[in-house]
Structure 1
């Protein structure tokens, strides 16, 4: 029997490969001859770069500007003229100094620095994986790092962060890195939010980054002002509000095109080729709910496997979904351990038990 395990990471609990390893250990106790292939995946959010490094991309590490202006170590991944720039690496919540939120001042400058480093490698395509950001600056910091000047009424550069955008008087892109026009940019994200309004970057995403109601109002006004200065052509584009509005910057100044994050990743790791000959595919994520059905990693895996007629099982930390799904079976850690925190803190033994359950169910057929 051949089983492919392609689970997304369980956020704040286990990486993609840790999930696969624990499941595999359980399966092999029942079916010791089973051939198991563990594949790391991501959907454009945090962990996407790690998944691609596992599939043969090469890592390059640089010191760049973190979201709070602090120096941080961040990686890009490159293979065959394609670079992966993961926003969480340089501008993510995990890179905040002492993990303190900075909703008005956090900058995406470091992400722009990583894009410059990717261009230095002469790549033709840059994939922007923009999940997990700590910023709400509409990508303005990244734009500055790429050579644009964002100035106030006195002609001085404005400060960093979304709050500073209210001081913007002009955007000068005459010194924007000329290599941008020769590169293809792909926004790997399934976020569909526009830039502004009740479903936009400030209202939906900044509270997740520590913004108070007053901060949200400030950011909405500042980002609206930034859009008015920069033309505003993409304010209603699907995905413009992603990563605190970084999607808007990518569309407006980089000519980026949006694609499903999981589809991009599965394509880059040649996932369909890995499925040939498989009898079963196991996928998973931390929480399986209605949002999962709108394009997250497990649905991409399901779609790919279904195209080859291979059944798929879902393993998750929690399952909060009603009705039938297209998965052959759904297993949740909370079915074994009702204490959610214990599931988060110690997922390995529970995943091991689920591996046993899957193996028993599969071998009895």
Structure 2
């Protein structure tokens, strides 16, 4: 029997790799000689670097950068196989978890550290970039990142603006003359699964600002700043980005990548599946096991397990999906390539207990054992 394990992480509980290990142990309890191929997966958000670095036998790089609050932090990114492609999650440098809840304020948070990671990767010889957008604590339209890359944004007094979303309204001129010269030789693929415009009621500030600490009054100011930035960008650089799908991703970082770095946006799932070569790894598989922390209606809208299931369906391979929780809305997955899905919870427990890493690991392992005992009995 050949089994492909392609698990997303159980957020705040187990990484993709740890989920795969638990399932592998469960299979071995029943089928000691099974051929098992385990690959971590992600959808462009948390876990993207881990999935790609593992699949490409790449390396981790740690770099001190300016964090979202303007203070130094340690951030990691990955360099794949031949030292030519870098994988960066923006959340590593400006993510919401890096900001304590009582300090969350998109007026001041910056994406500067993202630009520093890009510069470091360029210095190490990388010319191809895969960027995972999502989970940022920022609403600065990516100007912090661009400042780190050498772009200049000046106010009416010809002074460089500072950090944060509140400075967008101050920008009057944009100078691109000192941008990092090697950016012209770089290509950027953006893993992004949102299509929000830069500003407006569906834009970065209104949709994502509140979770980053913005009050309703702040949202209005931030949205006005994003609109001002788009206007100046069009006037100064003849770049039109405000209504481009995905421009509002990660507090407007999408706009910066599209407008200044000529990035192409892709479905996070599609880009990850392609880069880890999951279709090749699925050849001759008898069964695929996938899953994530929660299977619900959102899973059917482009999450990693669905991407796995679609590929498996194309090759006629049955798919089992495992999750900490599986809601009634997850039943639509049965029409989209998932043969059957199961919650790994085996008794009532508090959420905090269910998310304990040791308990989650054992529940994944024991559920897998029971599933494969059933499979073994049916084969007899």
Fold shared by both chains (TM-score > 0.5): yes
Partner of 2:85: 82
Shift of 1:75: 2.1
| Inter-partner Cα distance in structure 1 for 2:25 and 2:19 | 10
Q: Which residue of 1 aligns with 2:58?
A: 57
- Aligned counterparts of 1:322 and 1:128: Cα–Cα separation in 2: 29
Gap runs ≥5 in structure 2 = none
- 1:11, distance to aligned residue in structure 2 (A): 1.4
Query: Is the contact between residue 336 and residue 350 of structure 1 (CA under 8 Å) also seen in structure 2?
Result: no
In 2, the alpha carbon distance for the partners of 1:140 and 1:27 equals 49
TM-score by length of 2: 0.91
Deviates more, 1:287-296 or 1:332-341: 332-341
* Match of residue 19 from structure 1: 19
Q: Where does residue 339 of structure 1 map in the other structure?
A: 350
- Match for residue 262 of structure 1 among 266, 269, 272: 269
- Supply the RMSD in Å over aligned alpha carbons: 1.9
Q: Is the 8 A contact 2:138 2:250 kept in 1?
A: yes
Q: Tell me, what secondary structure is at the counterpart of 1:49?
A: helix
1:297 aligned onto 2:300: no
SS of the residue corresponding to residue 125 of structure 2 reads: coil
User: Residue 229 of structure 1 aligns with which residue?
Assistant: 232
Query: Which deviations, in whole Å up to 9, do the C-alpha atoms of 1:200-252 show, x marking residues without a partner?
Result: 11111122222222221221111111111112612111111111110011000
Structure 1 CA distance for aligned equivalents of residues 330 and 127 of structure 2: 44
Partner of 1:105: 108
Structure 1 residue ranges without an equivalent (≥5): none
Relative to structure 1, the CA distance from residue 142 to residue 299 in structure 2 (aligned partners, 3 Å threshold; closer, same or farther) is: same
Relative to structure 1, the CA distance from residue 172 to residue 10 in structure 2 (aligned partners, 3 Å threshold; closer, same or farther) is same
The match for 1:145 is 148
Query: What residue is the counterpart of 2:257 in the other structure?
Result: 250
Shift of 1:139: 0.8
For 1:327 and 1:172, locate their aligned partners in 2 and report how far apart those are by CA, in whole Å.
51
Q: Distance in 2 between matches of 1:247 and 1:47?
A: 19
State whether residues 146 and 177 of structure 1, in contact with CA within 8 Å, keep that contact through their aligned partners in structure 2: yes
Normalising by structure 1, report the TM-score. Answer: 0.94
The equivalent of 1:94 in structure 2 is 97
Separation of aligned partners in 2, 1:163 and 1:254: 23
Q: Cα distance, 1:162 vs. partner?
A: 0.9
CA deviations on 1:32-72 (whole Å, 9 max, x unpaired) are 33232221111111211111221212222211111111111
1:98 CA drift (Å) = 8.4
Cα deviation digits, residues 306-365 of structure 1 (max 9, x gap): 222211111112222154423111112346445333222231222122212321232233
2:346 and 2:205 map into 1 onto residues whose CA distance is 36
Of 171, 174, 186, which residue of structure 1 is paired with 2:174? 171
CA distance 1:281–1:142, shift in 2 (3 Å): same
